[in-house]
Structure formats: structure tokens, C-alpha cells
Structure 1
Amino acid sequence: MKLHTLAPALALLLFVGCDPIPATAPQPHPAMGAVDPGAGAEAPAVTAAPPLFGIGGGEDDPLTHVWFEAPAGMVAARVQVAVDRVAPVGLNFFALQVNFDNGTWAHGGLQDLDGPDGTRRRVANWGGLVDRGGGTADYDEEDDRADLERIQNAPEGEHVAPYAWGTDVVYELSVERGEQVTLPPGTYRLIPGRPEVPIDHARTLWQWRFTARPVDGGGAAYVAVLYDTAAAIQGFVVWNESGYGSTSEMQHTRWWAPAYREPGADADATPSKWGRF
């Protein structure tokens, strides 16, 4: 696991392969997975400008993470990305990550992974955890009952779902706050494989919706929702991740149009600057 250090003082951790899900409690929204690109929002404008930056093999700077300068208290963040090249083995993960205002974080993005018998599979992922300092601590020091009071991930089949995203296609990745909802008492699971936890009281949390959609409006979108007591985003970053036989030099992505929205604003704003780390 990598520690994501966001200038000036935010720490974010990658979340790969261990996505928390509820066990048996009912969900207050329909399962989404991959949906029509028009569902819930207008398709983003088609990108024609040169990319703002690239990440991966062939770039002068080998750093694989980019932070954006933006105010705390955001209710949405978005960016556009095209994956030019993936490693033929191991993990490929290209994501937008947000740090919430209550000590939790989440990331959403496109993955190309090892499949059975040497095949490859493409999926999308949206999930998060409580920040306990980064590294492996966020996983090793989980407190299921306490953590469920702050964050509730999407159900299985939505938090990670098959998504046939294409190479050299521009996608918008977005995280947006929805309504404040009440989850009923029930039995929940923080992460697959963890013990089921009975919750004997209702929990009031905000919906945080992640969407990956083709900028040109063609093809399906991936949409997933997690729930968090956080009312706002404190910062956001984007990154490439490799591992399990892949390297950053095997990958390359191009990125455009980072944007955020503040509460009550009628339109998105553009970060004042960005930097690599």
C-alpha cells in the first residue's frame, strides 16, 4: 500500500481489493453498477484541448500522483482521463481520490486486472475506509463497529463491478454529494471477509456518488454510492497505481479538466494549481 500525501497536509491511502460492503441491511437506493450514460446527469462536454498532464512511462517526471489546490468544504470533484497504455500483467488502477472532512477517504476509478487462466478483466471501483495514518494501518487497525459509524460502502456487485472501459477513450470521473439519508438497523459488514456487525440503531449519513462515464456520451456509465457522515471533501488527487507484476513505466494516462464545486455554487470552479508527488 502507498501513502498518498496531499500538499499541504492531507494524507490519503489507496484502496485496492478490499472494499467494505453492507451485509444484509436494505439499501435506500437501487443497485446501480453500470447504467445508461444519461442516467442522473448530463454527459460531460467532449474534450478537444491538449491534456493538462500525463502520468506514467514516457513522462519526464516519474511521479504517479497529482494534487490540486482547492478550498476545503467542497461538495463535488471531477476530472477527465484517457488511459493510453496498460501493463499486460498485474494491477492497473487509474483513479480520482477524495479526502473527506471526518477522517475518512474514498477513491473511484478504472481497473485492468489479472483474470482467470491468464485473461484480463476490466472493472470499476468505488470504496473507502477510515484514515488511521496511511500505509497498512488503515487496513490492519480497522475497528468494524466504530468505522461503520462513519462510513458505509456500496453493496457487493456495485462497489466493484464489471465495466468494459476502453483504452484511448476519454472518461469523466466524478464524486458528488447527494442527499442525507438514514440507514436502518441491520447487519452490516465493513469489508468482505470481515465479521458481520449488528447495528441496533439508525445511522444518518450523506450519499457520495461516484460516476465514470465516456465524455463523448457513447457507452454505459458506472455509478456507485457510498455513505459517509462527512458533509464535505477536504481535498482531491488523481493517480496511477501498479503492482503484482506491473510497473508505472508500463502504464500511461492523460488528464484534463480538474474541477470542484463549493456548497451553494451554480457552477464548478477550476483548481488554482496542481503538482506531482
Structure 2
Amino acid sequence: MHNWQPLHAFLIRRSTAVCLQELQVWNDPQTQLDADREYLTLAAIVGFRFLHVQHSTVLYNHFSSSQMILSDSNLLRVERLKQMFLRFQYHATMQPLGEITEQHWFLLKQNWDLWKLAPVTFEQHGEEVFFLQHSQKELGMPLNLVQARIVSALHKSESACTLEDHARQIVRMFWKQIVQQSGVEGLNVAAELSRWVGLTHPEISDSDSRQLAQASRQSTSLLQAKIDAIPLSAPLFIEQQLAVLYVLEKLRAAGMLNQFSDSQSQINQSMPAR
């Protein structure tokens, strides 16, 4: 899921690099941006394994507004991701049966169009029973509490974007809401965030633990400011993002999301509650 490795903080064996070069994994000049994501994802798909060196860090500077990553349009980025993931799927089909799991295929085949919540009404039929009704079509679907929470967060989104981007933004939104709650500090934030997205057994990495323990000693306002400063692509709360992504795909498949072009991505829609 996105840049699951720290940016520019990796080493590759020469023999591995040679093998990947023979597969033309480095797809220059076709992939002008996100080349690191493409390179390392393909390395994983074709069977290479990764070791994690604890306590390694990297400082990443956005030093100029002319950087390609900052000047790239959203539409070009989405089109590039579509082509990149088609390449991922091709290489995945070449692997031995069972090497690519069902969860892998869900990510490899994820949708890369721009989406926003359709005009819907939101009904509550019990403490944890909800129903989502399309306002313009004869479509509806039941929701549990976790799904209803994600739909409510999606409604607050001001722009249409990919499901992956929505998932990251929703997790950030939940994270900021959780730190406002009294009595939720430090490592409890990760556990509470997992509960919000329906994960019963959260896995907290050592790096997450250190960052959250440090955050527990900071004021809520300072912590929220730091949350906003973290790039959306940072490899934090990946399991929680995946849980949200599953719900978003379910909404898309049920017709509860509207597809947009890049020029339409700022259109606002309402979701009246009943």
C-alpha cells in the first residue's frame, strides 16, 4: 500500500538489482514519478524479500514548488497509477500459484478512478444498525457501525479522489478525532483507531510505538498540527488504511459513489440525515 518503505532509506544487493534490471523494473522514462513505488512493488511481486533495520530514519525535504512531485497534476498521477498497476497485475500472473494472496489481488486490482460519495440519505435503525439509501437511484445497502462511521467521514471530503487517497484521508481524520477524546493517550490511540475501523487485534509496529509514546506527552493542538504535517504517503497505520479501503470498495461496487473527472473533483454534494 503506497510507499510502505521509508523513502530513500533502502539498500539493494547488486545481484538483486541486476535481476530487476533484466526485468526492466526501472521503467524510465515511462514512469517519471512514483518510480520508487513501482520498483519496490515489482520487486516484492516477483519474489524478493525485505529486511527491516530498526531505528533507521530519513529526512525528506520539499525544497521547491518546482519539484515534479509537487507540480504533477492529479489527473496525470491517476493515469500513471492505472498503467503502473496494470504492469503489477501482469507480473503477478507470472508468479507460482499461491504466491499472490487474495489480499494482494485486492490491492493489485483496486480502482484508480476519482470518486466521491453520491447523494444519499443515512438512516439509523438501531444502536449499531444503519441503512444507506441513494437519493437518485433505487439503490440501498445496510451498514454496521464501522461502515457508517467511514461513510460519515467520506461525506466530509471536499474533493473527488482515488479510493486509496480517501482511505488515507479518513484514517487521518479519525486519528485527529481520537486525540481529542479525553483519556486517549499514547499507544491507546493506535488501539482506538483500529477499533474505529473494525480491527479487533491491532498490530503496532516498533516505530509507531515510539512515535505514539512521544506524542502522548504533547498537547492535543500540537499533536493535531503534527498529524497534518505528516505526508499522506507516510507508512503509518497501513492495516487501518486497508480496512477503510475494503469498505470504500464495497460502497463503490454498490453504486454509492459517483465517478468524477479531474475537473469535477471540487464539486460539493450533500448527505441529508433522516
Shorter-chain TM range is under 0.3
Higher-RCO chain (CA-CA 8 Å, sequence separation at least 6)? 1
More strand by share: 1
- TM-score norm. by structure 1 comes to 0.26
TM-score, normalized by length of structure 2? 0.27
- Richer in helix (by share): 2
